[in-house]
Amino acid sequence: MQERPFGRLGTVSALTLGGGGIGQVWGTTTRVESIATVRAAVEGGIRLLDLAPSYGDGEAERVVGEAFEGRLPEGVRVTTKCLLGRPDPDEAYALLRESLLASLERTRLPRVDVFILHGQIVPDGYEPPPAPAPGNTSTPAADPRRAGTPRTLFIEAVRPAFERLVAEGLAGDWGITGIGVPRALIDVIGTPPAPAVVQCIANLLDSPGGRGRIDEPARPREIMAAATAAGSAVMGIRAVQAGALTDALDRELPEGHPERRDFERAEPFRAIARDLGESAAALAHRYALSIPGVSTVVLGVKNRVELQDCLDAEARGPLEPELVARIDAAVGRG
């Protein structure tokens, strides 16, 4: 598998195994199959595992703990996250530390390589629009932490707490999720010290789907550009947009749900995939790998069959510029 630059963290495999699938966020699987999928990912060249407590109420972290019993294969790194929201500034460090220690217990590891804020960063005083209709997402829509972390709270309390945890040796570095109000994210990324990684939307629709609780365009490629300029590595997420960029949705969604709207919008893309003889998911992953600035694309696979489809797609390489332009035109991107 191709290795790519990963900012101040060195290099990384082009694909990262995300915890959503093995945590049963994106459909049903079993602990046995999830463990086998993690091991197969590492055997296939994946060197980064991206986890979070909210992926199956800790299930993804427990899967990795059981798969490797606290002894990761050489060269394999792990991230985890904390959905923080808007705590009192004096509570930020304790809440982050408590979450991280619980993650370390589940993964059976002494530290993680990167600890990431798992929520939106928003301007001070910002109130998000109502949550989307319920769907199969990793965090319940009613969770107040999904309202986001205000910019000043992040700068003055959350970022120093991350740096303190790094100094304590519990994390190798820290990062943020680049889903939120773009002007706040771009400001935070450009205000030193910059995060080691920024997890950015990387799909052919530029869509955050149900995760985008903002009332303006998501502008993910501008956020990527800001991260690159700051020296932060970009982890591309939602390459198949929660299933909207696959051949068929694997769950029922109500009329008007963001993922259903994206699935309908992507029909011309699926026609291109059929014309090329590829699955929509494979072509969507190759497209994400072709976006300038993306270091690694995070997979949401839940079993070895889905994993192999992604491994095969990566082996075929990024898309030619002409095909990228054809896909962009087909879905009206931009």
Write the pLDDT tens digit of every residue in 45-95: 999 999 999 999 999 999 999 999 999 999 999 999 999 999 999 999 999
Per cent of the chain over pLDDT 70 is 95
Q: Which residue has the higher pLDDT, 127 or 9?
A: 9
Q: How many CB atoms lie within 10 A of CB 93?
A: 17
Write the pLDDT tens digit of every residue in 93-103: 999 999 999 99
Please state which of the ranges 16-30, 128-142, 209-223, 278-292 shows the lowest mean pLDDT: 128-142
Domain boundary assignment for the chain: 3-331
CA gap 248, 179 in Å, rounded: 25
Query: ∠ CA 66-108-160 to the nearest 5 degrees?
Result: 135
Give the dihedral sign, CA 143/144/147/149.
negative
DSSP 256-307: T-HHHHHHHHTHHHHHHHHHHT--HHHHHHHHHHHSTTEEEEEE---SHHHH
- State yes or no: pLDDT of 35 exceeds 60: yes
**Residue 12 near residue 295, CB atoms below 8 Å:** yes
Residue that the structure tokens 């829509």 belong to:
141
CA gap 58, 41 in Å, rounded: 20
Find the mean pLDDT for residues 219-226. 97
Name the helix (H) or strand (E) containing 11. strand 11-13
CA gap 133, 289 in Å, rounded: 30
Find the mean pLDDT for residues 108-127. 95
For residue 70, what are the contacts with CB-CB under 8 A and spacing of at least 6? 107, 108, 109
What is the average pLDDT value for the chain, to the nearest integer? 93
* pLDDT on residue 215: 78
- State yes or no: pLDDT of 139 exceeds 70: no
- State yes or no: pLDDT of 142 exceeds 90: no
Write the pLDDT tens digit of every residue in 292-325: 999 999 999 999 999 999 999 999 999 999 999 9
Give the domain 3-331 fold: TIM Barrel (3.20.20)
What dihedral angle (degrees, nearest 10) is formed by the CA atoms of 243, 118, 3, 32?
-60
CA gap 193, 64 in Å, rounded: 31
- State yes or no: pLDDT of 250 exceeds 90: no
Output the pTM of the full model.
0.94
